[in-house]
Structure 1
Amino acid sequence: MSTRPDVTVLSVGTAWYSQTGGIDMLNQRFCTALARAGLQVFCRVPPATHREIAEAERQGVVLVPAAPGPRDFSLARRPHLPDGVVPDLVIGHGRFTGLVARGITEDYFPTARRLHFLHVSPDEIEWHKDRRGEDAGDRAERRTALELDLAATADRAVAIGPVLHERYLTELSAFDVPPPLLFVPGFDGGPAVRRTPPPGSPVRILLSGRTEDSSLKGLDLAARAVGLVARRRGAGTTGLEFVVRGARPGTSAAVRSKLLRWAGYPGLNVVVRPYTSDGARLTAAQRTASLTLMPSRTEGFGLAGAEAITAGTPVLVSSTSGLGLLIREELGADGARPFVVAMSGDDAEDADAWARAIEAVLDDRVAAFARAHVLREHLASRYSWDSAVASLLGQLGVQQPEEATP
C-alpha cells in the first residue's frame, strides 16, 4: 500500500543555500514548511552539492538538481522525478524562476496548477538601481510586463507581504483573473530564550543587503546615520562597528571606501563582508549585533529585517517597506515607532531620522532587546511558517494530510 502523500509540489529556485538572501531564502523556508504540512516536496535547483542535497532531505525536501550549463536553460529541462510522480503544484518565484516554472508546467506537467510568487514591484525598485547604459523606465516597464504576464497566466498569483498585495490587487484588476493571495512569511524558529545585549565591545550595527544596489537598500543613508551617531558619541565612548554583509566577491574594499565617504567620519570602524549562505555565520552575525538596520528606500517586504526579528535582534526598518507596514498594522503607529523609521525622501532629513533612531537603541540596549523580544513574540504568534502554509493551501482548496509533522 502506497504511503506517498496525496499532494506533490515542485518549486523552482535558483539555489537551495541562498547566495544573496531574499527569494531563495524564502523558497527554502516555504518548501520546508510544505514538507512539515505533509506534502511531497521537490525543489528544482541548479547543480547542488552533496551537503545541500542531504540538508534538504533532512528537512523533508527532495532536491532535483539540473545538469551543468546556462541556468535557465538547464532548469527548464524536464526534471527527473520518481516514476509515477506528477506535481499537483508547480511554483515559480518572480521573473527569476517564473518563466522556467511556466515552461516546465506547459511542456511536462500540463495537469499541474502553477503558482506565481510576486516578490518585487519593478515600477518601484528599478529607479533606485544603477545600471549604466540602460534606461530605468524601459527596464521597469519590461520587467513589470513580464511579472504581470506570469501572474495573469498562472492558476494563482501570490504576493509577499501587504505592500505588494495591495499593488498587485490593482495591477491584476486589468486582467480577468482571480485577485492575488496574500502570503506573510513566518517569524517563528528563533531562539527560545529572551536575548540580552552581546557582551564586550565594539557595539556592532549590522546591515545585510546587496551592496551593488546601494541606493535601493539605503546603504548611503545607513552610513551617514551611523557616521552622525559616531561623531555625536565621540571618541571617549564605547566604539561602534558598522558591519555590512552582502558585497560581491572582490568588491569589499571599494564598498568600504564608499561607506566611509558617505559616513563622513574617518574614524568609524567599517567591516564589509561578502554574502554567505553559511547558516552558522549568519546566525553569529545576528547574535553579535546590537542592532540590525533595513533602511531600504523601497522594499516589497524585507526578509533581512524579518530574519533579524526572528533572531531577537533589535531592528530598525524603513516605513517604505512591506515589513514596516506590517509592523504598523500590528502595533499601531505609536507601538511601531521604536522599530519603524519614517522616510521623507529627503536624504539629509532621513539620515538624521535614522541617526536619532539608532541612538535611541544604543542609549539603552537592554530595553531595546526587551522590546525586540516582545515584537518577535507578537509576530511569531500571528505569523508562523506553518500557519502561513496552511492558510495558503486552504485558499487553494488543497487539503492537508491529517498526520502532518508537528
Structure 2
Amino acid sequence: MSTQPDVNVLSVGTAWHSLTGGIDMLNQRFCTALARAGLRVFCRVSPSTHQEIAEAERQGVVLVPASPGPRDFALARRPHMPGGVVPDLVIGHGRFTGLVARGIAEDHFPTATRLHFLHVAPDEIEWHKNRRGEDAGDRAEHRTALELELAKTADRAVAIGPMLHNRYLTELSAFDGPPPLRFVPGFDAGPVVRRTPPPGAPVKILLSGRVEDSSLKGLDLAAWAVGLAARRRGPSTTGVEFVVYGARPGTSAAVRSKVLRWAGHPGLNVVVRPYTSDGTRLAVAQRTASLALMPSRTEGFGLAGAEAIAAGTPVLVSSTSGLGLLIGEELGPDSARPFVVPVSGDDAEDAETWARAIEAVLDDRAAAFARAHALREHLTSRYSWDSVVSSLLGQLGIRQPDLV
C-alpha cells in the first residue's frame, strides 16, 4: 500500500450531468480517470441530486455542490471541502468555469496549483454565431482576451486537441510562461465490441450537439447534404431518417421546419430531439445510427464526433475540426479520407462533398462499420482515458500513488 501523501484535486464544472454536454461531459470523464489514477478527486458543481452524488461516489469522485442561487456566484463561494481538505490542484474549464476556478484558488486555496483547460478558440467560432444586437468581432476579442488572461495567470494551460494546441502555442507565446500542454480526450467509453449495421429500416443518420448554433455546427450543411443523398437513393431503396439531437426545450418543431427547408426535400424523414443528459438515451441513439455527422464549420476539437467513434458508429467529421486534424495525424491523409470531409467554405460545394461522403457510407454499411471499428481500436490504443491522464500528470510532475 502506498505511503505517499494524497494528492487532492478540485475540478470546477457546472453540473455532473449536463443538459448541454460538451465541457461538463469531458470534465466528468476526466475526474473519474483521475480517481482511477489514485488521486482524491472533488468536483465543484451546481446543486446536485442524491442520485448524482451517489453515482459520482461510485466512480471515486466526491461532489461538492454549491448552494442554490445564481450559478457563477454560487460556484465561486468557498467550497465546503469534506474534512477540511485543501486541494493541491484546482482545475477550471474555459471561460465557463475558469474564472470561478481562479477565484476559488486565489481567494481560498492560494497554495494550490491551478490548471486552465482551453476548449474553444473564440476568434474562430464567434463569426458563425447569430447573436442579435452583438458585434461578433467585439465578442470574439473580449472572449479571447478572457481565455488568454485565465491561461497566462494559471500555473499551466492545457489545450484540448491539436488544433487548439497549435493556436494557443501562438497566442500564449506573447507572454512569459510555459507553453500550453496538449491533451487529447480518451476514446474508450465502454467495452470494444465489433458492431455491424443495425437491422431493419429506416437507415438513421445522427447529428448531435448544440443546434441553436446551427451555422457553427453545420446543421444547415448536414441537412442539405442528407437531402441530396436521400433524393439520389430514390424511393426503391431503404429510407433515410435524419435524427437531430440537441434542440433546446420547446424548439423541436421549429428546428425540424428549418431542417426540412435546408434539406430541400419535403419528404425527408426528420426527427428532432431535445438534448439529454441521459447517457442511456444517447447510447441508444448511437447504436441505432448507421452514420454520425459532425459537419462543423469550425470546431476546437469535436466531442460529439469522439463520442460516435467511442461507440463504434461510422462517423464523418469536418476537416476544420481538431478531431479531423487528429485523425489525419494518426492515419495519414489517405487512410483518413473515409472519416474526414474536406470543407472549402463554399456551401454549395461543401454540401455536395458531404452528400457524396454520406452516400459512400450508406452504399456499403458493412464496410463502414468495419472501418469504424478499426478507427476506434487505433485511437483507443493511443488515447485511453487512463493513459492520457497518466501522461498529463507526468508532464505536471505529479507522481501517481502506488495502487494496491
Equivalent-residue separation in structure 2 for 1:12 and 1:19 (angstroms) = 16
Partner amino acid, structure 2, of 1:343: V
1:83 corresponds in structure 2 to 83
Matched, 1:116 2:116: yes
Given that 2:4 and 2:401 are in contact with CA atoms closer than 8 Å, whether structure 1 keeps it comes out as no
Q: How many angstroms apart in 1 are the aligned matches of 2:197 and 2:118?
A: 36
Q: Is the 8 A contact 2:2 2:403 kept in 1?
A: no
Q: Structure 1 stretches (4+) deviating beyond 6 angstroms?
A: 1-4
Question: How far does residue 390 in structure 1 lie from its aligned partner after superposition?
Answer: 0.6
Question: In 1, distance between residues paired with 2:52 and 2:84?
Answer: 25
Task: Determine whether 1:331 maps to 2:331.
Answer: yes
Amino acid at match of 1:303: L
Q: Distance in 1 between matches of 2:36 and 2:135?
A: 44
TM-score normalised over the length of structure 1: 0.98
SS of match in other structure, 2:201: coil
Hey, what's the Cα distance between the residues in 2 that align with 1:397 and 1:58? 28
Whether contact under 8 Å (1:5, 1:39) holds in the other structure is: no
Shift of 1:84: 3.6
Deviations 1:167-201 (A, max 9, x none): 00000000001100000000113342200000110
Alignment of structure 1 residues 268-347 onto 2, 5 Å = 268-347=268-347
Q: What CA distance in whole angstroms lies between the structure 1 residues aligned with 2:370 and 2:212?
A: 34
**What does residue 224 of structure 1 align with?**
224
Structure 2 partner of 1:372: 372
Q: 2:184 matched to 1:184?
A: yes
State how far apart, in whole Å, the 2-side matches of 1:386 and 1:177 are. 28
The answer for the alignment partner of 1:137 in structure 2 is 137
Counterpart for residue 394 of structure 1: 394
Give the conservation status (yes or no) of the 8 Å contact 2:152–2:172.
yes
* Equivalent residue number for residue 214 of structure 1: 214
Kept after mapping to 1: 8 A contact 2:89/2:114: yes
Q: Could you report, residue by residue, the CA deviation over 1:329-361 in whole angstroms, capped at 9, with x for unpaired residues?
A: 000000000000000000000000000000000
Instruction: Name the residue aligned to 1:163.
Output: 163
Residue 31 (structure 2) pairs with residue 31 (structure 1): yes
- SS, match of residue 211 in structure 1: coil
Note the C-alpha offset of 1:3.
Answer: 8.0
Residue pair 2:2, 2:401 contacting (<8 A) in 1 also: no
Contact 2:2 2:402 in 1 (8 A): no
TM-score, scaled to structure 2: 0.99
Q: CA deviation at 1:6?
A: 1.4
How well do the aligned residues superpose, as a CA RMSD in angstroms?
Answer: 1.2
| Alpha carbons 1:190, 1:312 under 8 Å: kept | no
**Contact 1:5–1:40 (Cα < 8 Å) also in 2:** no
Match of 2:389, as an amino acid? V
Q: Secondary structure at the match of 1:258?
A: helix
Query: Is the Cα contact below 8 Å between 1:4 and 1:40 reproduced in 2?
Result: no
* Counterpart in the other structure of 1:44: 44
Q: State percent identity of aligned pairs.
A: 85
Aligned to 2:385: 385
How many residue pairs get matched?
404
Structure 1 position 2, deviation (Å): 11
Deviation readout 1:298-349 (Å, 9 max, x if unpaired): 0000000000000000000000000000000000000000000000000000
Q: Write the letter of the residue equivalent to 1:285.
A: A
Task: Find the aligned partners of 2:366 and 2:2 in 1 and give their Cα distance.
Answer: 54
Q: Aligned in 2, Cα 1:53/1:4: closer, same or farther, shift over 3 Å? A: farther
Partner of 1:249: 249
Secondary structure, in 3 states, of the residue corresponding to 1:291? Answer: strand
Superposed CA offset, 1:235-261 (max 9, x none):
221110000000000000000000000
3-state SS, counterpart of residue 83 of structure 1? helix
Mapping of residues 52-63 of structure 1, within 5 Å: 52-63=52-63
State the AA in 1 paired with 2:398. V
- The CA distance in 2 between the partners of 1:107 and 1:71, in whole Å, is 18
Q: Which secondary structure does the structure 2 equivalent of 1:204 belong to?
A: strand
Equivalent AA in structure 1 for residue 34 of structure 2? L
Are 2:89 and 2:115, in contact at CA under 8 Å, matched by a contact in 1? yes
The AA in structure 1 aligned to 2:289 is: A
For structure 2, which runs of at least 5 residues remain unmatched after alignment?
Answer: none
Task: State the match for 2:68 in structure 1.
Answer: 68
Q: CA separation of 1:303/1:125 partners in 2, compared to 1, >3 Å: closer, same or farther?
A: same
What 5-or-longer segments of structure 1 have no aligned partner?
A: none
Secondary structure at the aligned position of 1:63 is classed as strand
> Quick one: distance in 2 between partners of 1:296 and 1:201?
27
1:62–1:318 CA distance, 2 compared to 1 (3 A): same
Write the distance in 2 (CA, Å) between the matches of 1:199 and 1:362: 13
Q: Tell me the residue number matched to 2:201.
A: 201
Q: Deviations over 1:198-236 (max 9, x none)?
A: 011000000001111000000000000000011101122
> AA paired with 1:71?
R
